[in-house]
Amino acid sequence: MNSFVLTSLTLKKMSVFFMSTVPFFEMKGALPLGVAVGLNPITSFTFSLLGSTAVIPLILKISLPLFESVKDIKFLNYFYNKVFSYVNAKTVKMQTASSVNIGTGGFLDKNFNLLALFMFVAIPIPGTGVWGASLIAAVSKIPKTFAFLAIAFANFISAIFVCALSAGLLG
């Protein structure tokens, strides 16, 4: 009986960890799922945060080379153009809204991009998470170390809010 409980608990933790690595579901879906299946909110917080943070370096490392290799394949070129036009449109929109000259490579430019990445992840709404922010960071060629730190910290802030909601502390 004791080993069954241990196995069941381990399976739940692993499920939360791996579900948090899935795009669009990420930590914001895995954490409440963990609480719903009976995990302690802190345990669910820990495993969902670890899973969603674990994918950031991988996405930052492989997404741009993958996109660059895809653009030469005729039937995938459409996807490539859509992704890059989306990122460029978002960059222009952020530049217009903030009156910051993005693309100069200066101190303000780098900090603005990091702040934008942070806000993109930290506000826990559907469609904003580590996958999207990591893709934007890679395509925008934001230095990987700074992008990782901004995205991971924002993910932590977002996880606190989602955990509080899942535990019933905020409503």
pTM: 0.80
Nearest Cα to 151, choosing from 70, 74, 14, 49?
Answer: 49
Q: Are 27 and 48 in contact (CB under 8 A)?
A: yes
Nearest Cα to 51, choosing from 126, 159, 133?
Answer: 159
Q: Return the pLDDT at 154.
A: 96
Q: Return the pLDDT at 106.
A: 46
Can you state the percent helix, strand and coil of the chain, rounding each to 5? 80, 0, 20
Q: Which two tokens stand for residue 36?
A: 């719903």
pLDDT in tens, 58-75: 999 998 888 778 777 877
d(CA 140, CA 102): 10
Q: Which of 8-12, 38-42, 84-88, 117-121 has the lowest mean pLDDT?
A: 84-88
Q: Return the pLDDT at 108.
A: 43
Cα dihedral 75, 78, 83, 84 sign: positive
pLDDT at 158 over 90: yes
Q: Which two tokens stand for residue 24?
A: 């669009």
Could you tell me which residues come within 8 angstroms of residue 44 by beta carbon, excluding any fewer than 6 positions away?
16, 30, 31, 32, 33, 34, 35, 163, 166
pLDDT in tens, 82-127: 777 776 676 665 555 544 444 445 444 556 778 888 988 998 888 7
Q: Return the pLDDT at 170.
A: 67
Q: Return the pLDDT at 110.
A: 59
d(CA 168, CA 36): 12
pLDDT in tens, 126-146: 878 899 889 888 888 888 999
Q: Return the pLDDT at 147.
A: 93
Whole-number average pLDDT of the chain: 82
Average confidence (pLDDT) over 19-47: 93
